[in-house]
Amino acid sequence: MVNDTSLLGLRHRLARDVKPGQCDEAGVRRLWWGALEVIQKALMERDVHTGLWMAAPLPALYEPDLLRQLKGWVWAPESLERLSPLHAALPGSGRPASESAGFCRLALEPRDGDDPLLLVITPQLQLALAIHGKPGERQLLMRCDAESLSDALTMVGERFKGTGSELADQLRDQLTGLGPLRNDPDFDRCFWPRLAEKLTETAPSLTLQSLPDTSNAHAQQTPTHDLSLLEAMTHEVRTPLATIRTLIRSLLRRKDLPSVVENRLQQIDVECSEQIDRFGLIFQAAELQRKPSEMQLARTDLGAILQTLEPGWRELLDRRGVALQLGIENELPEILSDARRLEPMLGGLIDRVSRGLPPGSRLLLLLQPAGARLKLQLQVRSQASSTAADDAADIELIDTDLVDTEPVDKEQVGTVLSWDPSTGSLQLSQDATRQLMASLGGRYQARRKRDLTVFFPVASAHA
């Protein structure tokens, strides 16, 4: 029988035979977020489709594919109960936790502490991750040996038994279906080097520090430091937004929500997704500036992508009072691009062109052949100019290869961002947008104040 079944006791068990750390709070939190990226990437590389995870005090996993495929439990503070879709998982609720999709909410007790904890058990990869230690002696713990994991699961099982619910049986059944505990020795060897690599890609701190008074060295270091700082900031924004979105989507699965609450939550979900994608593009642009990578392009049906994304774009534009009109010719050839990265990039172009448009405007999205390429055009039409003649002219093919009247960003912010005073928002600069689109096989050309054109190479028959 395990005496201490608190999460604090579990962290003490994971820290057994480990020397005290020397991190401060900011440093150990940075290690935690970097480790979550490394772990989730490892799970997706191993094509994990079944397993379980447990976390406290908030969901640690945020990759949608993993959340859909793995069974989860989250110990969360009582103050989050109103946001939990899984009140059924609490003792005395009258409903078993297995009825809830996504992850189940459990009560976090005062003796558990507030430090984050994550257990992941899958056939391919099994590990425990935690932050532990007193102030000034903080450390990140990662254990994937069978003995530590077995002890941790035993402690969780004893804790579940103490609730008087069926959680212990559920946990036992889940673990039985996953087979015996075993470790991936490759992950054990590569985790810390991969975490170190991840940390080198982000700024060491968001705190400004004085530099030696050497003007030449400062001039050489500033661009790289700025890009690292931008990458760190985008990561710090996207990660909590992803957690909020996960909580919201789980809550939306409840059937007893008032319609006004459901509508508000859906709006929050949409806003979170838009900002996650937006900051994701900024991160990619910064990463491309620092580490140009070779293009890995494949055959892509651009017309099908546009038609798939159209409903979401219409919803975005409806909120802004802007109409969307698609003009996609039939039987278009495939292009060479990266469909996974192209989708958020196209959404970023829609957001860029439509942001700040007056209500009643129309956004035309046209896809047509142009020799050995496909031409994607985004054109803005005001309500006053919406006539049948204009519509016909909009869809007429115009050769714009030799014409480039691209506007200049009014206020450049570093090498990646620009400030648009008319909308009061930061957006990718024209140069960063062009480079990011080029990495997707496209040739980006901005036209008038908002109109733009992108040319994509047509895939050959043997591509």
| pLDDT computed for residue 307 by the predictor | 93
Mean pLDDT of 132-158: 91
Across 351-355, average pLDDT: 87
d(CA 148, CA 128): 8
CA distance 169 to 183: 24
What CA–CA distance (Å, rounded) separates 365 from 376? 7
Which H helix or E strand runs over 324? strand 323-328
The span from the CA of 194 to the CA of 429, in Å, is 31
pLDDT at position 410 is 55
Select the more confidently predicted residue: 59 or 232: 59
Res 395: pLDDT: 41
Strands (DSSP E) along 329-372, which ranges?
335-337, 362-370
Is it the case that residue 335 has pLDDT exceeding 90? Answer: yes
**pLDDT band with cut points at 50, 70 and 90 for residue 463:** low
Three-state DSSP at 366 gives strand
Residues contacting residue 331 through CB under 8 Å, at least 6 positions apart? none
Alpha carbons 354 and 322: distance in angstroms, whole number = 8
pLDDT score, position 100: 38
Helix locations, 46-181, DSSP H: 64-69, 146-162, 167-178
Q: Please enumerate in sequence order all residues whose Cβ is within 8 A of that of 81, keeping only pairs 6 or more positions apart, or say none.
A: 87, 90, 105
- Residue 117 pLDDT more than 90? yes
Mean pLDDT of the chain, nearest integer: 78
Least confident of 196-205, 321-330, 404-413: 404-413
Q: Rounded to an integer, what distance in angstroms lies between the CA atom of residue 410 and that of residue 407?
A: 9
Q: Which residues contact 55 (CB under 8 A, 6 or more apart)?
A: 61, 72, 73, 74, 75, 116, 117, 118, 119
Question: Taking residues 98-121, what's their average pLDDT?
Answer: 78
Which pLDDT does position 189 carry in this prediction? 87
Residue 393 banded pLDDT, cuts 50, 70, 90: very low
207: pLDDT confidence band, cut at 50, 70 and 90?
A: very low
- How confident is the model over 267-294, as pLDDT tens digits? 898 888 888 888 888 888 888 887 776 6
Q: What angle, rounded to 10 degrees, do the helices at 7-14 and 146-162 form?
A: 170
Instruction: Return the pLDDT at 447.
Output: 72
Give the residue-averaged pLDDT of 346-363: 90
Q: Answer with the residue of higher pLDDT: 145 or 62.
A: 145
Which tokens is 35 given?
């480790």
pLDDT average, residue stretch 220-233:
59
Residue 157 near residue 164 (C-beta atoms within 8 A): no
Is the pLDDT assigned to residue 113 strictly greater than 70?
Answer: yes
In eight-state DSSP terms, residue 458 is B
State the first-to-last Cα distance of the chain, in angstroms, to the nearest integer: 62
Sign of the Cα torsion 60, 65, 66, 68 reads positive
pLDDT at position 357 over 60: yes
Of 142, 144, 89, 154, whose CA–CA distance to 122 is shortest? 144
What average pLDDT does the segment 214-230 reach? Answer: 50
Residue, of 266 and 250, whose pLDDT is higher: 266
pLDDT higher than threshold 80 for residue 206: no
pLDDT at 398: 38
Q: What is the pTM of this model?
A: 0.53
Which of 139, 149, 236 has its CA nearest to residue 192?
139
Beta strand 117-121 pairing with 443-446: unpaired
Ordered strands of the 443-446 beta sheet = 323-328, 362-370, 373-381, 452-457, 443-446
Instruction: Reduce the DSSP state of residue 368 to 3 states and report it.
Output: strand
Q: Which of 96, 51, 55, 95 is nearest to 75 (CA)?
A: 55
Handedness of CA 278, 284, 290, 295 (dihedral sign): negative
Phi, psi of 106 (to 5 degrees): -125, 160
User: What CA–CA distances, in Å, run from 368 to 118, 313, 371, 444?
Assistant: 49, 20, 10, 15
Distance (Å, rounded) from C-alpha 116 to C-alpha 99? 26
> What torsion, rounded to 10 degrees, do the Cα atoms 58, 61, 64, 68 define?
-90
pLDDT higher than threshold 70 for residue 409: no
Report whether the peptide linkage leading into residue 180 is cis, meaning its omega lies within 30 degrees of zero: no
> Residue 446 pLDDT > 80, yes or no?
yes
Of the pLDDT bands very low, low, confident and very high (cuts 50, 70, 90), residue 223 is low
pLDDT bin (cut points 50, 70, 90) of residue 462 is low
Please report the pLDDT score of residue 167 as a whole number.
Answer: 78
Average pLDDT over residues 439-449: 85
Distance of CA 242 to the CA centre of its chain: 6
**Residues 238-242: what's their mean pLDDT?**
80
- The pLDDT of residue 402: 34
Give the DSSP letter string of 134-155.
Answer: STT-BEEEEE--HHHHHHHHHH
Of residues 59 and 407, the one with the higher pLDDT is 59
299-457, which class in CATH? alpha beta
Q: ∠ CA 205-210-214 to the nearest 5 degrees?
A: 125
Helix (H) or strand (E) segment spanning residue 132: strand 126-132
Q: pLDDT category, 29, cuts 50, 70, 90?
A: confident
The size of the chain, in residues, is 463
Paired tokens of 4: 């201490």
What is the per-residue pLDDT across 165-199, written as a single tens digit (0 to 9) for each?
A: 677 788 888 888 787 877 777 888 899 998 988 77
pLDDT value for 387: 46
pLDDT at residue 363 in the model = 95
